[in-house]
Amino acid sequence: MPHVIVKLYPGRSEDQKKQLADEIVKNVVAITKCDEKSVSVAFEEINKEDWAEKVYRPDILNKKDNLYKLPGYNPFE
């Protein structure tokens, strides 16, 4: 606890993903006051043409009550 899943388009290097994971872990530890060993981070690469149906609809539209940061776009408009 906690486990963070980052969904993004393909194309980031392994170094970029490692750097982002490290920064996420630092912030999670600082804010939640948990041990670093308790935090895990995963990346799921989603192709641009699949984003609306695989991410936006299920994770954003259908789970608005869970979101603390809404995106400033809507691929269905």
- Containing 23, the helix (H) or strand (E) segment is helix 14-32
Q: Please give the positions annotated as active site.
A: 2
Given its phi and psi angles, is residue 39 left (phi above 0), alpha (psi -120 to 50 degrees) or beta?
Answer: beta
| Entry field: residues in the chain | 77
Residues 6+ apart with CB under 8 A from 56: 71, 74, 75, 76
> Quick one: tokens of 44?
């799921």
